[in-house]
Amino acid sequence: MARIGVFICHCGTNIGGVVDIPRVLEAAKEMPQVVFVDGNKYTCSEPGQASVREAIIENQLDKVVIGSCSPRMHERTFRNTVASAGLNPYLLEIANLREHCSWVHGYDKEEATAKAIELIKMAVAKVSRHEALFPKEAGITKRALVIGGGVAGSQAALDIANAGYEVVLVEREPTIGGRMAQLDKTFPTLDCSACILAPKMVDVGQHPNITLRTYAEVRKVGGFVGNFEVEILQRAKMVDHTKCTGCGTCWDKCPEKVDSEFDLGLGKRTAIYIPFPQAVPPKPVIDTDHCRHIKYRQFMEEGGEGKPPPKCLICEKLCPAEAIDWSQQDEIITEKFGAIVVATGFKTFDYTAYEEFGGGRYPDVITSLQLERLMNAAGPTDGEVVRPSDGAHPKTVVFISCVGSRDERKQRSYCSKVCCMYMAKHAIMLKEHDPDVQCYIFYIDIRAGGKDFDEFARRAQEEYGALYLRGRVSKIYQDCKKLIVLGEDTLMGRPVEIPADLVVLATGIEPSDGAAELAQTINISYDTHNFFVEAHVKLRPVETQMDGIFLAGCCVGPRDIPESVAQGSAAASKVTDLFSQERLVTDPMVAVIDAMKCTGCMLCATICPFNAIDSQTTRDGRIMAVVNESLCKGCGLCTAACRPGAANLRGFTQQQLLAEVTSLWQ
Amino acid sequence: MAVEDFQPRMVGFLCNWCSYAGADMAGTSRMSYPPNIRIIRVPCSGRVDPLLIVKAFQQGADGVLVAGCHPGDCHYVEGNYYARRRLALFRLLLEFIGIDPRRLCVEWVSAVEGKRFSQVVTSFTEELVRLGPRSEVQVGA
Amino acid sequence: MQQIRDKAKELLTSQAVDCVIGYGRATDGVTSRPLFVYEPEQVEELIFDKTCTHNLTKYLLNRRGKKTGIVVKPCDSRAINVLLNEEEIKRDEVYIIGVVCDGVVETRWNQVGEEKQARCQYCHQHTPVVYDFLVGEPPEESPPAPEDYAAVAEIEAKSLSEREAFWTEHFDRCCRCYACRQVCPGCYCTECFVDRLDPLWVGIRIAPEENRIWHTIRAFHLAGRCAGCNECERVCPMNIPLSLLNRKLVKEVDELFGFQAGLNEEEMQPLGTFKKEEKLGIGE
């Protein structure tokens, strides 16, 4: 016979104002195995918790029911209260008398009270079948994996490394730096992007605790928090970085020219290349899709004939360090980690979907990121802002906001947050490059919410003469050397036609290519736009639903550099928080399989979403299913599927749920 | 018993991460719905064993609601996909032995759909009033 | 018939198996009964004719770890596949003598029926789906037809209250002998849910509403696993049309998931998998 105590919280008037608590307490006294009942004004408060604690001790209660707000609110709080009275914290059940009763049935106090009594009865029935549960412990591998070497990932890697832990940073491109490395100046201070980023990049490259794996991708993730096992695909660079000195002779002399991805098609690079001068590592890779020697080698391997070998191997011939290594192969490296930070960043919306803007046919319609490359002194035009078509300096530049943002019809209804600010920045920069330039900015709203942001946006108009036109652009067409932009000035209530030399589209932010596949590999959630999903948008912005996996930067949603850096540090702090523990305590509400009832059909193992169930052979040759409690997440799929009822989920056992059902309407 | 007097007995199995949270949100937003439903919290809609459903009917339920996360959003990744198959098949079997399939209501309610939850419960309650009580009610085993 | 005897003799003499489970003549002289042959001399008692309705597969579950030969009809062989899939028996412990069958008849003590059983009339699998030795020539199979589920459709044509009345009348007669469970190869749980006292799913009371839970859930536990041998209905002493319940689920599993149990040694049962985009009438 248990000794159950029932405590009903008034929650001020939230519950007490609707539910007749004295009547519920009276009814609770009659419920089976209930030996003590009490009401409380605010059970979650210090005095409230103290009174529960005292009642448990004085009355030797061994199980507790608390009728209060939703368990999603205070389950942890009340478990601690119960534990502080010396009772196992899992010998508690909470009846939701607020969100599921008083707050939705306030129109009928009689009904609300009757329902409250039933809810207490259900909780009493359930708790009578509760057993003490004891968390288990597991070890933690104190090494972190950071996926993505942009500013958010770099910040995370540095913070974790500075805290004294090993970090492996995996970056898909040949260099770290991400999108920030492509920028010229950053708002609102207009400092040079590379100047502030490069020292961070160098720190990452040189930090003794950071292993930098560029030109690599994460292929497989298994295990669980504290004990991840990850397969990393290291692509063959064809250059031995232990020998290479980064002298640059090879990329200087390579004859094969390819459109540069870093310069977004506005410039060229060579087949053996570093993406930009301050690349980290400052050592090249060979693009095997375009290297003449590799292509010939592949042609011969596939049985090709009749083609003479290309006159190349110049890099190999000229390299003073003999660092070219044609024998390199892609390899899979398996490593163990305790935590993972995902910071895979963003790409920009492909504006060719907008036929009205030329669909990509006009070379002088460019994206804002392309404009950054033009403005950048290390860019394809050495910092001269010129028209891609004829190299002339533009005098009339038109900016169009929200291209691929705030547009239902292109399935991009969200705002990309940073575009208003960078358009203002571009207007200011262009005027600094050329005092004769006139900028027009077509906008819907001006979003300038950060520190000094609004002042910055106003400067673009007041000091730098940018003309802001509130309206949208319906069409752009080419007329000789000009691009005619047809738009609307809604504040003046009239259409506008501007013959522009250059049109810059503020293209929206979206997750990098392969985001959805990576999310599936890691088993984290992603939304319809492929942005990764936080555990809680407000309260847990850098965590995911999977313990031990954290998020930072634009892979979660559009944000600017200070926010990405802050999140990188926040994610790092979550990692060091995890690593500061000696052992991991696992949730005891896991499934357990009764070996006497298990018939070895393994349906549970097939269904388990976390591969937490293995088969074991007993000494007499029977196959049994066994739950790996570290992997089990407590979903209960196995329990519902098990025909003989061998699998049972602690905390939501068959007995407990059935007890709730059979307590109804008695 | 006049139709207006009939108060259907309803059980709801709500998954902790989505539908139970959605029901909480209905409360936080002070939505109103009829008081007939009794909510049982489960970790996932995939936890709902058909045995619990038949026992609920045997206990006197006129209707059983199972609510989970929208397909694709399951906190446990795929629990609701299994629930969907299991419950779809089970409902057909119940119908075969004479239990109106409308008495087993399966809905997807997300954590932010407080209003939707109250609408689901309200229309389910109204539907059960129209259907009337289950013919035999044998309480207790 | 002689082929079966010869093969059994060969298996026993070579000690490839130490028992052959087949059919023998029952003591009424006209019907058949399961026969366990341990000695090569005994093989002459093995028979095979249209009275061999039994599904002998269940006996394999008692002979785990031992090598057994077994005589199976096509429906029985599907049950073997289900057990192989669920790893209840090992393929190398069973020597399957598969017999091509064009139907069996109803039998009672000393009575042999004339017409083929109802289930044989809609059978499209006259050749065993798994065997080590085949007896008989595999015939042309007829394609499936809507009439296959005529008996189920008859129930589906009734109104809800008619259905309830129909089943209550039958469940009223159920005496909870569990013969249906004992004969079914798919029912091999060491502790069946109906026998559990905690949680008490099915009360000890023998009453229609308890029996209803028993039969509904047993049928559901066989969803996607029932091979359609109809033994449950044959052995029921109260003549409850149990096959209707299983057949209904066979129909739905086929229509919704395109799946029939036991056709392959390796298959994924429908409740162990899902398709993200499938439309099953829920939440659409």
Q: Which of A251, A253, A249, A246 shows the shortest CA–CA distance to A262?
A: A251
Q: Which two tokens stand for residue A371?
A: 């404009």
A649/A640 Cα distance (integer angstroms): 9
> Nearest CA to CA, how far is B89 from chain C (Å)?
7
For residues A314 and A385, membership in a common domain is answered with: no
- Phi, psi dihedral angles at A536 (to 5 degrees): -150, 125
A442/A335 Cα distance (integer angstroms): 50
A422/A133 Cα distance (integer angstroms): 55
Chosen domain end from A541, A561, A583:
A583
Asked whether the beta carbons of residue A644 and residue C193 sit closer than 8 angstroms, the reply is: yes
What DSSP character marks residue B85?
Answer: H
The partner residue sitting opposite C199, judged by closest CB among A606, A641, A655, is: A655
**B135 pLDDT exceeds 80?**
no
For residues A158 and A262, membership in a common domain is answered with: no
Residues present in chain A in total: 666
- Which residue numbers of A have CB closer than 8 Å to C's CBs? 596-597, 599-603, 606-607, 621, 623, 641, 643-645, 654-655, 658
Determine the residue among C58, C81, C86 to mutate to test chain A binding: the one whose Cβ has the most chain A Cβ atoms within 10 Å. C86
Asked whether the beta carbons of residue A601 and residue C87 sit closer than 8 angstroms, the reply is: yes
E-strand spans in A368-516?
396-403, 438-443, 467-470, 473-479, 482-489, 494-500, 502-507, 509-511
Per residue, the 3-state secondary structure of A548-579, as one string, reads CEEECHHHCCCCCHHHHHHHHHHHHHHHHHHH
A530/A526 Cα distance (integer angstroms): 5
Spacing of C-alpha A299 from chain mean position: 41
A254/A314 Cα distance (integer angstroms): 7
What DSSP character marks residue A480?
Answer: T
C178 close to C226: Cβ distance less than 8 angstroms:
no
> Nearest CA to CA, how far is B116 from chain A (Å)?
13
> Is C225 touching A (CB cutoff 8 A)?
no
A227-234 β-sheet, strand order = A216-224, A227-234, A331-337
A497 close to A488: Cβ distance less than 8 angstroms:
no
Helix (H, G, I), strand (E, B) or coil at A176: coil
A89 close to A589: Cβ distance less than 8 angstroms:
no
Nearest chain B residue to A113, by CA = B35
How many domains does chain A divide into?
5
Residues of A whose CB is below 8 A from C196: 645
Element (H, E) at A616: strand A613-617
> Is B24 touching A (CB cutoff 8 A)?
yes
Asked if the bond preceding A275 is cis, omega within 30° of 0, the reply is no
> Nearest CA to CA, how far is A129 from chain C (Å)?
11
Residues of chain A falling short of pLDDT 50: none
For residues A246 and A341, membership in a common domain is answered with: no
Q: Which of C115, C117, C116, C135 shows the shortest CA–CA distance to C127?
A: C135
For residues A107 and A73, membership in a common domain is answered with: yes
The partner residue sitting opposite A661, judged by closest CB among B24, B41, B59, is: B59
For C80, residues 6+ apart whose C-beta sits below 8 A from its C-beta are C57, C60, C70, C72, C89, C94, C96, C130, C185, C262
For residues A384 and A502, membership in a common domain is answered with: yes
> Is C41 touching A (CB cutoff 8 A)?
no
Q: Which of A203, A194, A187, A147 shows the shortest CA–CA distance to A171?
A: A147
Per residue, the 3-state secondary structure of chain C, as one string, reads CHHHHHHHHHHHHCCCCCEEEEEEECCCCCCEEEEEECCHHHHHHEECCCCCCCCHHHHHHHCCCCCEEEEECHHHHHHHHHHHHCCCCCHHHEEEEEECCCCCEEEECCEEEEEECHHHHCCCCCCCCCCCEEECCCCCCCCCCHHHHHHHHHHHCCCHHHHHHHHHHHHHHCCCCCHHHHHCCCCCCCCCHHHCCCCCCCCCCCCHHHHHHHHHHHHHHCCCCCCCCCHHHHHCCCCCCHHHHHHHHHHHHHHHHCCCCCCCCCCCCHHHCCCCCCCCCCCC
For residues A294 and A226, membership in a common domain is answered with: no
E-strand spans in A305-449?
331-337, 339-342, 346-348, 365-367, 396-403, 438-443
* Residue B5 confidence (pLDDT): 82
Q: Which two tokens stand for residue A202?
A: 């160098």
Nearest chain C residue to B70, by CA = C283
A242 close to A236: Cβ distance less than 8 angstroms:
no
> Is B11 touching A (CB cutoff 8 A)?
yes
Q: Which two tokens stand for residue A602?
A: 């393994």
Specify the residue for token string 């028996």: C89
A432/A455 Cα distance (integer angstroms): 18
Question: A665 lies in a domain?
Answer: no
Residues of A whose CB is below 8 A from B125: none
Determine the residue among A128, A601, A617 to mutate to test chain C binding: the one whose Cβ has the most chain C Cβ atoms within 10 Å. A601
A147 close to A136: Cβ distance less than 8 angstroms:
no
C283 close to B110: Cβ distance less than 8 angstroms:
no
Determine the residue among C161, C216, C269 to mutate to test chain B binding: the one whose Cβ has the most chain B Cβ atoms within 10 Å. C216
Please state whether beta strands A227-234 and A216-224 pair in parallel, antiparallel, or not at all (unpaired).
antiparallel
Q: Which two tokens stand for residue A63?
A: 């199980």
* Residue A440 confidence (pLDDT): 97
A172 close to A216: Cβ distance less than 8 angstroms:
yes
Asked if the bond preceding C199 is cis, omega within 30° of 0, the reply is yes
* Residue B4 confidence (pLDDT): 61
Nearest chain C residue to A648, by CA = C199
For A647, residues 6+ apart whose C-beta sits below 8 A from its C-beta are A591, A592, A593, A594, A598, A604, A625, A627, A638, A639, A641
What DSSP character marks residue A608?
Answer: -
CATH number of the domain where residue A89 is located: 3.40.50
Spacing of C-alpha A307 from chain mean position: 48
Chosen domain end from A127, A151, A179:
A127
> What average pLDDT does the structure give for chain C?
94
What DSSP character marks residue A271?
Answer: S
Residue-wise pLDDT for C164-218, tens only, equals 999 999 999 999 999 999 999 999 999 999 999 999 999 999 999 899 999 999 9
For residues A543 and A427, membership in a common domain is answered with: no
Q: Which of C38, C29, C32, C89 shows the shortest CA–CA distance to C55?
A: C32
B139/C17 Cα distance (integer angstroms): 54
What DSSP character marks residue A12?
Answer: T
For residues A276 and A412, membership in a common domain is answered with: no
Size of interface A-B (CB pairs under 8 A): 128
Q: Which two tokens stand for residue A167?
A: 């970090």
For residues A506 and A378, membership in a common domain is answered with: yes
For A150, residues 6+ apart whose C-beta sits below 8 A from its C-beta are A176, A177, A178, A179, A180, A343, A345, A553, A554, A564
Element (H, E) at B119: helix B114-131
Asked whether the beta carbons of residue C281 and residue B70 sit closer than 8 angstroms, the reply is: no
**B136 or C34: which leads in pLDDT:** C34
Asked whether the beta carbons of residue A602 and residue C268 sit closer than 8 angstroms, the reply is: no
B136 pLDDT band, cuts 50/70/90, is low
A414/A529 Cα distance (integer angstroms): 10
Helix (H, G, I), strand (E, B) or coil at A410: helix
List B residues 121-140 in contact with A (Cβ-Cβ < 8 A).
Answer: 139-140
> Is A666 touching B (CB cutoff 8 A)?
yes
> Nearest CA to CA, how far is A76 from chain C (Å)?
28
Burial of A60 (0-12, 13-18, 19+ CB in 10 A): exposed
Residues of C whose CB is below 8 A from B90: 220
> Is C61 touching A (CB cutoff 8 A)?
no
Four-residue CA torsion sign, A74, A78, A80, A81: positive
A285/A236 Cα distance (integer angstroms): 8
> Is B56 touching A (CB cutoff 8 A)?
yes
Q: Which stretches within A59-173 are classed as H helix? A: 71-84, 109-127, 151-162
> Is C93 touching A (CB cutoff 8 A)?
no
Q: Which two tokens stand for residue A647?
A: 């699998």
E-strand spans in A31-118?
34-40, 63-68, 92-96
> Is B97 touching C (CB cutoff 8 A)?
yes
> Nearest CA to CA, how far is C77 from chain A (Å)?
18
Asked whether the beta carbons of residue A600 and residue C190 sit closer than 8 angstroms, the reply is: no
CATH number of the domain where residue A575 is located: 3.50.50.60
* Residue A36 confidence (pLDDT): 97
A424/A465 Cα distance (integer angstroms): 11
Spacing of C-alpha A136 from chain mean position: 29
> Nearest CA to CA, how far is B111 from chain A (Å)?
11
C44 close to C5: Cβ distance less than 8 angstroms:
yes
Asked whether the beta carbons of residue A645 and residue C193 sit closer than 8 angstroms, the reply is: yes
A314 close to A253: Cβ distance less than 8 angstroms:
yes
Domain that holds residue A203: 138-235+330-345+512-583
Q: Which long-range contacts (CB under 8 A, 24 or more apart) does A304-307 make?
A: none
For residues A458 and A520, membership in a common domain is answered with: no
What DSSP character marks residue A412?
Answer: B
For residues A395 and A480, membership in a common domain is answered with: yes
> What average pLDDT does the structure give for chain B?
91
B117/B30 Cα distance (integer angstroms): 12
Average pLDDT over every residue of C132-155? 90
For residues A146 and A197, membership in a common domain is answered with: yes
What angle in degrees, to the nearest 10, is found between the helix axes of B114-131 and B19-28? 100
Q: Which two tokens stand for residue A331?
A: 């390899």
Residue-wise pLDDT for C224-236, tens only, equals 999 999 999 999 9
Q: Which of A535, A533, A523 shows the shortest CA–CA distance to A609?
A: A523
Asked whether the beta carbons of residue B89 and residue C245 sit closer than 8 angstroms, the reply is: no
Chosen domain end from A484, A510, A536:
A510
Q: Please report the ipTM that was assigned to this predicted complex.
A: 0.95
